[in-house]
Amino acid sequence: MSQTERLYRIKSLLDAGRCLSKPFLLRELEVSPATLKRDLAHIRNRMNAPLVYDRDLGGWKLDKAAVMVGTQFELPGLWLTAEEIHALLTMQHLLANLDAGGLLGPHIEPLMRRLGKLLGAGTRATEEVARRIRVETVGARKIHLPHFQAVGSALLLRQRLLIEYHGRGRDEPGEREVSPQRLIHYRDNWYLDSWCHVRKALRSFSVDAIQRVQVVGKTAIDVPEAELDAVLGSGYGIFSGKEVQWATLRFTPERARWVADETWHSKQEGRFDESGRYVLRLPYADPRELIMDILRHLPEVEVLEPLELAESVRQKVAMAARQLAS
Q: Quickly name the fold that domain 148-223 has.
A: SH3 type barrels. (2.30.30)
pLDDT interval class at 77 (50, 70, 90): very low
Better-predicted residue by pLDDT, 79 or 276? 276
The answer on pLDDT for 274 being more than 80 is yes
* Mean pLDDT value across the chain: 82
Looking at residue 70, its pLDDT comes to: 43
Q: Examine domains 3-68 and 148-223 and report if their fold is the same.
A: no
Better-predicted residue by pLDDT, 301 or 166? 301
pTM listed for this prediction:
0.59
Digit-coded pLDDT (tens) for 114-156: 666 655 554 566 677 667 766 666 556 666 778 888 898 899 9
Looking at residue 71, its pLDDT comes to: 45
The answer on pLDDT for 73 being more than 60 is no
The answer on pLDDT for 79 being more than 90 is no
Q: 95: closest CA among 122, 127, 145, 135?
A: 135
- What is the C-alpha separation between 203 and 226, in angstroms, rounded? 15
- What is the C-alpha separation between 58 and 5, in angstroms, rounded? 24
E-assigned strand segments in the chain: 51-54, 59-62, 159-167, 172-186, 189-196, 201-206, 210-219, 245-251, 269-272, 278-284, 301-305
Q: What percent of the chain has pLDDT over 70?
A: 74
Looking at residue 102, its pLDDT comes to: 58
Q: 251: closest CA among 232, 264, 238, 234?
A: 264
| Domain range list for the chain | 3-68, 82-132, 148-223, 245-325
Of the candidate ranges 104-113, 177-186, 200-209, 304-313, the one whose mean pLDDT is the lowest: 104-113
The answer on pLDDT for 5 being more than 60 is yes
CATH class of 3-68: mainly alpha
Contact between residue 164 and residue 119 where contact means Cβ atoms under 8 Å apart: no
